[in-house]
């Protein structure tokens, strides 16, 4: 007789409600201390910043405003 408790787990985790599946924007290094914020679906550059932290902040802002 098996005394272990067995649990069934889904093969893929359930997505969080309201969370996008993939990010829409990517921060890409474009030079010496210069970063582009690229729209992944089109490949177009939507902005640029001289600081990585500022580039990430802009990417988060663009993600939150469709």
Q: Write the pLDDT tens digit of every residue in 19-49.
A: 656 889 999 999 998 999 999 999 999 999 9
Write down the domain spans for the chain.
Answer: 25-64
**3-state DSSP percent of the chain in helix, strand and coil, to 5:** 20, 25, 55
Q: What is the pLDDT of residue 60?
A: 92
Instruction: Report d(CA 54, CA 52) in Å as an integer.
Output: 5
* Residue % of the chain over a pLDDT of 70: 68
Q: Which of 5-9, 28-32, 49-53 has the lowest mean pLDDT?
A: 5-9
Tell me the pTM. Answer: 0.66
């Amino acid at each position: 007789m098996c005394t272990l408790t067995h649990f069934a787990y889904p093969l893929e985790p359930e997505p969080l409600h309201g969370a996008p599946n993939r990010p829409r924007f990517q921060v890409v290094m474009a030079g010496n201390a210069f970063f582009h914020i690229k729209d992944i679906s089109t490949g177009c550059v939507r902005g640029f910043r001289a600081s990585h932290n500022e580039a990430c902040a802009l990417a988060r802002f663009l993600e939150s405003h469709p």
